Amino acid sequence: MNSDEESDSIIQKIKLGRKFRQNGDKKRAKECYQWVMDYEPKNTDLWEKKAALFLENKEYKFVLKCCEKMEDPASYQLSALYILGSLHRKRGKKLKALECYNKALEIYPDSRVARNVLGEMFFDAAREFKEKAESSIHQGPRLPLYIKALKFFREYHHLHPKPSDMYEQRSIIQFLEELGDIFLSLSQYNEALEIYEIIVQYKPKKNTIWNKMASIHFLLNDYQKSLECYNTIIESDPNNGEILNSIGDIYKLIGDKKKAESYYQKANQKINPKIQKLLITSKDYFEKGENDKLMENLGKILELDEYNKEATELMAKHYFPHDIDKAIEWYERLVFLDGSNSKAWCSLGMVYEFKELYEKAVECYEEALSYNKNEKEALKQLGSLFNELMDYKLSVHYFERYFRLLPNDQDDALKELYENSRANL
């Protein structure tokens, strides 16, 4: 039999097998496919032809078997593995799907498809184990399930060290915070630290996490690392009296009385009576619209304390909306000084939205939600903004979250926007 005849025989048998299979005759279909597999062609290139035909006829397992006989099987093998993995996922066979995508990565380590799908599957598995541990149905020990959740997240993080998508990042941070806090409550300090360290890779200015890390290092008697964490907080929030006191406590504990006293004094000076008096009158001037007196007061406060957050916020409010660029400058300074203040991020988002810088506005609102997932203003603004941008799916998503928090909101205009987004889905 020459090469063309061999090729025709193989094609006919595969087509016949496909026909049997479509008619529900699995036994005869298998016999046809097995004949193709058992037949050793004189022309070894025909293994590639077999693989292509099996792929075309959706017989993915046989594609992989043909690939074992080929000299350069990568392209057919990858296609088969991706499709087979996808089928296993749809059928709920997660382990088999993982096996397919892992094999794809072995063949082609830089495969984006395999990395993305595996990352998604590992993250889903991590959430699944966390939810199972928290379920009231689960009566056994919870810690092993939380450990499994962390194990799967490690696999995800290995494939995706820092996802660029902000929605994915926010979902990850929320998941990790919850898991980290669980390990902390169970006194599993090493696991909690591992998780918190990943969070600050995503959000370097998340001071609540640095504070937790400092506390864990303190409990583990690693005072140097505890100081490093507290000092990271002070870099962005130099007037945080509570943290200054904590640093003083550590220096006192390790016998450095001079440094301890210095930090205690800084903490005590945080509330300057003169600044407090100026702030009270500044707020009064702001309400009355006495701008000259307001600016004079704020100048005095910022001379005494250039990092004063309340004065910075009043400056930003003063400039909005008549000087947008100045308002942006001061709100950006505010979120730098108080990075975990969700309301400050919302205000900056609204200024950007006013200037029609919608992408930046969305980033700010999302940032607000990363610090407070129930920040109502951010949810409302995102729902409205995405309606304006005609992304109705996201608009409905944020409006639903908003109305779950405020089911009795009487804002008719807002309800009308929500209904408009729903109608356009």
What value does the mean pLDDT take over residues 80-97? Answer: 69
In this structure, what are the phi and psi dihedrals at residue 92, rounded to the nearest 5 degrees? 80, 10
- pLDDT for 421 beyond 90: yes
DSSP secondary structure letter of residue 43: S
Of the two residues 175 and 61, the one the predictor is more confident about is 175
pLDDT at 1: 44
pLDDT value at 269 more than 70? no
Q: d(Cα 203, Cα 383) in Å, to the nearest integer?
A: 24
Share of the chain above pLDDT 70, in %: 80
Which of these, 259, 235, 255, 225, lies nearest to 245 by C-alpha position? Answer: 259
Q: Average pLDDT for residues 102-112, to the nearest whole number? A: 74
In the numeric block, the tokens 């005494």 are attached to 304
Nearest to 126 by CA among 144, 142, 148: 148
Q: Is the pLDDT of residue 33 over 80?
A: no
Percent of the chain with pLDDT over 90: 41
Residue 328 is predicted with a pLDDT of 96
Question: Of the spans 186-200, 272-286, 303-317, which averages the highest pLDDT?
Answer: 186-200
Q: What is the pLDDT of residues 34-77, one digit of tens each?
A: 777 666 555 555 666 666 666 666 676 666 666 666 555 555 56
Local structure of residue 176 (DSSP, 8 states):
H
Confidence of residue 156 (pLDDT cuts 50, 70, 90): confident
pLDDT for 125 beyond 50: yes
What is the mean predicted confidence (pLDDT) over 243-260?
91
CA-CA distances (angstroms) from residue 161 to 23, 156, 201, 291, 332?
A: 48, 8, 9, 49, 27
pLDDT exceeds cutoff 80 at 88: no
| Whole-structure pTM value | 0.54
Where residue 239 falls among pLDDT bands split at 50, 70, 90? confident
Task: Tell me what pLDDT residue 79 has.
Answer: 63
The tens digit of pLDDT for each residue in 374-417 reads 899 999 999 999 999 999 999 999 999 999 999 888 889 999 99
- Assign 308 a pLDDT band (cuts: 50, 70, 90): confident
Confidence of residue 241 (pLDDT cuts 50, 70, 90): confident
User: Residue 226 — very low, low, confident or very high, per pLDDT cuts 50/70/90?
Assistant: very high
Helix 309-319 × helix 273-288 angle, to 10°: 20
Provide the pLDDT confidence category of residue 82 given band limits of 50, 70 and 90: low
Pick the residue with more confidence: 313 or 305? 313
Distances 84 to 7, 79, 96, 252 between C-alpha atoms, Å: 25, 8, 9, 63
Give per-residue pLDDT as tens, 330-381.
Answer: 999 999 888 778 999 999 999 999 999 999 999 999 999 988 888 999 999 9
Backbone angles phi, psi at 355, to 5 degrees: -85, 5
Whole-number mean pLDDT of the chain? 83
Higher-confidence position of 93 and 421: 421
330 and 312 Cβ atoms separated by less than 8 Å? yes
